[in-house]
Chains A and B, each alone.
Chain A
Amino acid sequence: MTAAAIGLPADAVARPSPRATRPGASTSLERVSFSFQTEKGARLAIESANLHIEAGELVCLVGPSGSGKSTILNLIAGLLAPTEGRVLENGAPIDGPGPARAMVFQDAALFPWLTLRDNVEYPLQLAGTPKGERRARSEELLRMVHLWRFAQSFPHELSGGMRQRGAIARALATDPAVLLMDEPFAALDAQTREILQGEVERIFLETRKTVVFVTHNVREAVRLADRIVLMGTRPGRILRDVIIDLPRPRAANDERVAWFAADVAGEIRSEVEKIAREEADDAWVAPGGRVRVDPRRNMGGGI
């Protein structure tokens, strides 16, 4: 799929930033445990997780299914309440969902009965924003994600990548302090995914929201994150942090991204192999006998 086919102008350069009035907020989990009630009794989904995310930081949660990364996102969103421990936003406990924390879902979750523009305006309508302001804001956001031409389209008329960009515009409508993204690009083809990763980075650089991004894909995490939080399974828990101190904006085909991804993947081989078994993906390097491409080393290229 080409850039034009998903509705992007060929030169998708950064547009003037939408006014970001609300700065990113810090978010913390303090000794958070969460259990689901199942028919066989309580099942521990997250065990004693501690996590601090700085205001304006882009953190990727990476781990196999069952490591509780989506659960952490739902806890921060306020959709779930922790069984033990506390979830804080700027130091204050989070009490239920609210417009300060917006979520983007894997399947976009746009309302099929509303046009794209009405979808973007829906959270503003809930917030009681006057109509004129809603119209102005939705236009600004749809222009920012290059979907203004499709404002009157219904979601089924858009491609998967366009729907995701619409969902991002909707999430940004109420100017949230924290943007939560739950595997937003997992269902997209590789090219569209790369373009949208660039979009997320651009929006992040423009708005300086706090972004918590859940993914299976180590390479995607390295491309986007200031810091990667690796998660393990049974029970879900945080294993460790990896700081990704690459300069921004990052290119999808940057060798350093690939190298970092290989490095991260190497460190969590057993966890990643669980991921790979679930979802064969371009980030997974076949085990054994592989060559780690290190851009700092010349492997005889000058002979």
Chain B
Amino acid sequence: MFASILVGTWAAASSLANSPLLPGPIAVGRTIAAALRDGTLPRALGTSLLRLLVGYAVSLGCGVLLGVSLARSPKTKSAIGPLILGLSSVPSICWLPLAILWFGLSEWAIQTVIVLGALLPIAVATEGAVRHVPPQLIRAARTMGARGPRLLFGVMIPAAFPGILSGAKLGWTFALRSLMAGELLFVSGGLGQLLETGRDIGDTALVLAIIVTIVALGRASEWLLFGRLDREVGRRWGTEAA
């Protein structure tokens, strides 16, 4: 409903402006269709998605482990806790110049930016979630003989799952933003590069088409993954699904 009003307003504004700088929904739709047909959009989307998944998987794994160790080990907390909070205030794109100096114009540079952008919010959320696991649950598990990795993976992480999930969602959007920022800056074959191409040749419709694609990507991840996980958490914990 709201979306159709938005698209309607956009159509009205673009016909009023009647300028190549503000193409309407139909023109953007045509551009998307054409880019889909000639394969540029699927290729760019595939490249970006693959990067995103790799960087996100690394961020998720390392972020959860880092968060758990921050929550459970006072030594880790006092050693790197303040550093983590400090670093998480640095926008991930600020790392790109450094990453390029270190790794050159390569996948490594982009992955570095994705991981630095997504890992920290995941770690911070995981730390909080693990810290707030009711101590009774851990004591109960211990009386039943759970120790070490089985206590961690069988009880602490499942108990902290709702909080970890919010961190994971935040991490996903941060990963996507870092990816786009990284791809904008050099020839990379992804959606970001296509955006840059659109700017170079003054093709506003292409730029808007990519933005629409990114929005669709965000919605799709919510629909295919995070929304389902949210509902499952709601069903089990008895909380409202967002």
Interface residues of A (CB under 8 A from B): 77-79, 97-99, 101-103, 105, 107, 109, 111-113, 122-123, 126-127, 154, 156-157, 170, 174, 180
Contacts and interface: CB of A to CB of B under 8 A. Distances in A.
Contacts of A174: 144
Contacts of B159: 111-113
B106 to A, nearest CB: 41
Given A109-B137, A111-B158, A113-B158, A97 B236 contact: no
A156 B146 contact: no
Contact of B143 (A77, A113, A127, A157): A77
A225 B150 CA distance: 36
Interface in B14-58: none
Contacts, number: 62
Interface centre among B137, B144, B154, B158 (most CB of A within 10 A): B144
Contact of B144 (A107, A112, A123, A180): A123
B134 interface: yes
A123 B238 contact: no
B236 A154 contact: yes
B237 interface: yes
A97 B143 CA distance: 5
A105 B236 contact: no
Contact of B145 (A107, A109, A126): A126
B167 to A, nearest CB: 17
Contacts of A101: 143
Contacts of B136: 105, 107, 109
Nearest to A100: B145
A-B CB proximity, top 7 nearest: A156-B238, A109-B140, A123-B144, A109-B136, A103-B143, A97-B143, A113-B158
19 contacts: A97-B145, A99-B144, A102-B143, A102-B144, A103-B140, A103-B143, A105-B136, A105-B140, A107-B136, A109-B136, A109-B139, A111-B159, A112-B159, A113-B159, A122-B144, A126-B146, A154-B237, A156-B237, A174-B144
B150 A126 contact: yes
B158 A127 contact: no
Given A97-B143, A105-B139, A126-B150, 17 more contacts: A79-B142, A97-B142, A98-B145, A99-B144, A101-B143, A103-B140, A103-B143, A107-B134, A111-B155, A111-B158, A122-B154, A123-B144, A126-B144, A126-B154, A154-B238, A156-B236, A170-B144
B138 to A, nearest CB: 9
B219 interface: no
Given A126-B145, A154-B235, A154-B238, A79 B158 contact: no
B186 interface: no
A102 B150 CA distance: 18
Interface of B, helix, strand, loop or mixed by DSSP: helix
B168 to A, nearest CB: 16
Interface in B122-146: 134, 136-137, 139-140, 142-146
B161 interface: yes
Interface string B217-242: 00000000000000000011110000
Contacts of A111: 137, 155, 158-159
Contacts of B158: 111, 113
A113 B144 contact: no
A158 to B, nearest CB: 10
Contacts of B161: 113
Contacts of A122: 144, 154
A77 B139 CA distance: 10
A111 B235 CA distance: 14
Contacts of B154: 122, 126
Nearest to B237: A112
A157 B235 CA distance: 10
Given A103-B140, A107-B136, A111-B158, A127 B235 contact: no
Contacts of B236: 112-113, 154, 156
B157 to A, nearest CB: 10
Contacts of A180: 143
A103 to B, nearest CB: 4
Residue from the set A79, A99, A101, A111 with the largest chain B CB neighbour count within 10 Å: A111
A105 B141 CA distance: 11
Nearest to B137: A109
Contacts of B150: 126
Contacts of A113: 158-159, 161, 236-237
B162 to A, nearest CB: 9
A122 B146 CA distance: 10
Contacts of B235: 154
A109 B140 CA distance: 7
Contacts of B237: 112-113, 154, 156
A109 B158 CA distance: 14
Contacts of A77: 143
A162 to B, nearest CB: 14
B238 A157 contact: yes
A112 B144 CA distance: 16
